[in-house]
Structure 1
Amino acid sequence: MVKVRQPAEDALPSNVEWTNEQPEKPPRFNTELRIAIDGYYSESHDVITSDGYILEINRIPNPRFKIGPIRPRSKPVVFLMHGLQSSALAFVAAGPRLSIAYILADAGYDVWMGNARGIINSRRHIWLNPDDEKERIKFFDYTFEDVATKDLPTMINYILRITQQQQLNYIGHSQGGTAFLVLNSMMPAYNQKFISAHLLAGVGHQTYFPSDVLSIAAESTDLIFTVAVNTGSVELLGPNNNNNDDIAVEVAANALGCKGELDKFASIFCKVKAAMDVMRGVLAPLETVAGASIKQYAHFGQNIRDKAFRRWNYNPLKNLWLYGNINPPNYDITLITADITMHYTVGDTLLHENDVLNMAAVIPNAKARRVARDSFSHFDFVIASDSRELVTDYIVEKLNEVNKQPM
């Protein structure tokens, strides 16, 4: 299904006619309305993954104030993929002057933005109801590997078919970078589908993970995950939970006092509360925070704890049955042959410079690029007032080179 939305009336120049009515403000998370209010024509496309998730892809095919669809193969394609607890809205939330999606559209690119399973308008499934007490356990049973090997192929193949292109350019922020690394290491044939890739704080190796508080919480990641699933708390910051899971952790941690000697089960609440406090601080600058599966966090937690970049760790027996080894295998990033630029910052609290440099050293066609401002943070890639001059302008320049676009 394809839905089209025209720019909002007050965003259009006086010489452009307008016929459709628009509300004064967009509801929270409505990417289509946000794009329209900012003066851009957009489309939203629904696709279905091999395991039944219905995903929305948002498209901005034209520069600002230009209305109407475009011919296939008339423009190079750029696909943007958001990070954990985020959505396509991250790439437009900073407005026309700063948002990378708008800048790319104005530069002559056909811009597509993915929405991973479980968030916003991708919180849908053919037969599972994410709000049903029993079915939600199965619905949210996924990690970043599922996003990488099921969501990305579905969206990428669809975009290439609609645009009648053989290749596209990829930009992934945070988990969007993680998914790119996993996809192209587990399904190497996909390397041929990318002209270039820019990973913005793309998380992979976790040997030097910089946050001590989150590292401590990661030590109990398996226990945290087990307790969460057994209590039905499988979605974090979804649209309907009203932060009930946060409140439960706060009450438990306050009751325990989080001081002195605590048994293993009791101390888990203190560790989770400390980790939640850190993540609240990290996510605070974002205009919107989308939902996520607790298993996504648990998978990152396992990698932080094990100082690795590898597949989901079940238990030794199930690992042996599924993987042929009692330990889960590492993602073989040496199989990634796409042209990659890994943008990073030394001010990142979720990704260490050494991990980026070590990944770039073993990925055949990868190079690392350090952002010039040392205080640049993990989410500054999509929200900072100087993100255009420090990151986006460089990306546009390099995209113009490899796509042979006029400068």
Structure 2
Amino acid sequence: MTNFFAPLLCFCNAIYFASSVLPDPYRKIDYMVDYYGYPFEKHVVETEDGYSIEVHRIPGGKGEKVNQTLINKPPAYLLHALTQSSADWISVGPQLSLAFLLADEGFDVWLGNCRGNLFGRNHKIYLETSYGFWNYRIPKLMVIEVGNSCQGSALPTDNKSELPTADKLAMLRDGSTVGKPTVARPIRRKPGLGSEYRHLWHEIGIYDMPATIDMILKKTGKSQLYLGCFSQGCTASLVMGALKPDYNKKIRLAAKMGPVAFLGNMQGGGKMVLPTITKLLVPILERFGHFDVTTIALLTILVTKLLKMHIIIPVIFNAIYAFVGPGHSNDNEQAIKMGAPFLLGGISSKQVLHYGLGVLNPNTFRQYDYGSEKNMIAYNSSDPPDYPLEEVTMPMVIFQGKNDFCADPLDVELLMKRLPNVIQRFMRPVNHIDFGYNRNIRSLVYNKIVELFKKSESKISRNIRN
């Protein structure tokens, strides 16, 4: 088995390395925002573990000049779904986009990105073509051995607030003593934020989101912001709220669309395919390394071309509906064609497999399962720890799809029972991807989100006046 899969994996990655995404003018998000008549800013946030991620800002509504956007506006932070990027919030155009709607309604809109997507492909140490970029398996606690003597712990074990930084990782990589052989050796430690074996939507929650939130609040001078998230963005926000509970206080109100956490009731093609590929690939990829799944030039070009062919769109979407639930996103051909170049934004194979483990283990929302032996190293337990959802105290409203195969209503119901501060739930006749592409999504979901954000903001204003 190993002799077969090792060459196959090397071949697939050779193809990927040789065909990184071709330059595409439509990937210039600033051009798109400017084309639609909105102000735009680009910011870069560096995470504590060394990833550089772009954050895109729309500080005003259509036609507003830069100096007009300096008005004191409430910040709204939007985080995308699996395979997506910040571009997906605006590529569908002003008639559909939640980002443009919020900007027109007086919000200072910040479009987040995640490690590994189109706008999060830089790291202090790793190249994006390295396995470390997509797997990130650097220990939190290591002993630096110089020659034959042990120099002590380089990184802390139990202090959850002191996570490994890129500078410390570089020190471990490069060595701290000139002229002597330096070895970085992992040792066992208690489970916590610094788990040695890393996956990606976990890191989005404990690294990417906190760094982005801190930057937004610093730039705007605010103490809280509004959060809008979709699918994986909701998963990451739950991880953040559970493992970094101080950030719950920085969220004024969160609107979660199609939140994915528990997956035991997943329906459709995912229910049939994910368990099988997860069982097959977890042991193989944990041995040989993880890789980028979607950002391949040939695949991007193929998908873009096919989605521009009127006769092919229904065929493609019927296949997609088998995985996400019956819907009508294919009715909105203009939005599909505009968003096509951004659909494959870049994900790690480990993100997909982590969701697959959730399907294999119903009624659990927990960290990555490496198998009992590696779990003992990573977590000091044969089973991965559950995320403590009782710690997620941010106020939130949940929008769920009646036809959603990925965030099944039964799984969302279970999630709501575990969360302490769900203010309201809205059931809508949509599937999973309809949250981004349904032609009626503004009236079904987005207008309500804006209404709730503005209502919350008006309460702040009244409290200040009183």
**SS in structure 1 at match of 2:240:** helix
Deviations 1:305-346 (A, max 9, x none): 111211011121222233232111111111111111111011
- What is the alpha-carbon distance in structure 2 between the residues aligned to residue 243 and residue 232 of structure 1? 21
Shift of 1:104: 0.2
- What is the alpha-carbon distance in structure 2 between the residues aligned to residue 104 and residue 137 of structure 1? 33
Shift of 1:347: 1.1
Shift of 1:243: 3.9
**SS in structure 1 at match of 2:26:** coil
Is the CA contact (8 Å cut-off) linking 2:256 and 2:398 kept in structure 1? yes
| Structure 2 letter corresponding to 1:391 | V
Alignment partner of 1:386 is 2:440: yes
Corresponding residue of 1:258: none
Corresponding residue of 2:398: 342
Shift of 1:349: 1.9
- What is the alpha-carbon distance in structure 1 between the residues aligned to residue 39 and residue 69 of structure 2? 15
**SS in structure 2 at match of 1:122:** coil
Shift of 1:358: 1.7
- What is the alpha-carbon distance in structure 1 between the residues aligned to residue 455 and residue 381 of structure 2? 44
**SS in structure 1 at match of 2:66:** coil
Shift of 1:217: 3.0
**SS in structure 2 at match of 1:342:** strand
Is the CA contact (8 Å cut-off) linking 1:91 and 1:101 kept in structure 2? yes
Distance 1:279 1:243, change over 3 A: farther
**SS in structure 2 at match of 1:236:** coil
Give the alignment partner of residue 160 of structure 1, picking from 194, 217, 220: 217
Shift of 1:281: 6.8
Is the CA contact (8 Å cut-off) linking 2:274 and 2:359 kept in structure 1? no
| TM alignment of 1:172-251, pairs within 5 A | 172-228=229-285, 234-240=291-297, 242-243=298-299
Q: Which moved more, 1:205-214 or 1:95-104?
A: 205-214
Corresponding residue of 2:30: 32
- What is the alpha-carbon distance in structure 2 between the residues aligned to residue 184 and residue 137 of structure 1? 24
Corresponding residue of 2:374: 318
Corresponding residue of 1:15: none
What is the root-mean-square deviation of aligned Cα atoms in Å? 2.7
In the superposition, the TM-score normalised over structure 1's length comes to 0.78
Is the CA contact (8 Å cut-off) linking 1:81 and 1:173 kept in structure 2? yes
Deviating above 4 A after TM superposition, structure 1's stretches of 4 or more consecutive aligned residues are 69-73, 134-141, 228-233, 277-286
| Structure 1 letter corresponding to 2:203 | D
Q: How many residues get paired?
A: 347
| TM alignment of 1:96-107, pairs within 5 A | 96-107=94-105
Shift of 1:402: 0.6
Is the CA contact (8 Å cut-off) linking 2:232 and 2:260 kept in structure 1? yes
Give the alignment partner of residue 151 of structure 1, picking from 208, 211, 233: 208
| Structure 1 letter corresponding to 2:199 | Y
Structure ID, larger Rg: 2
- What is the alpha-carbon distance in structure 1 between the residues aligned to residue 71 and residue 211 of structure 2? 20
Alignment partner of 1:68 is 2:123: no
Corresponding residue of 1:304: 359
| TM alignment of 1:225-304, pairs within 5 A | 225-228=282-285, 234-240=291-297, 242-243=298-299, 285=336, 287=340, 288-289=342-343, 290-304=345-359
| Structure 1 letter corresponding to 2:454 | N
Is the CA contact (8 Å cut-off) linking 2:50 and 2:124 kept in structure 1? yes
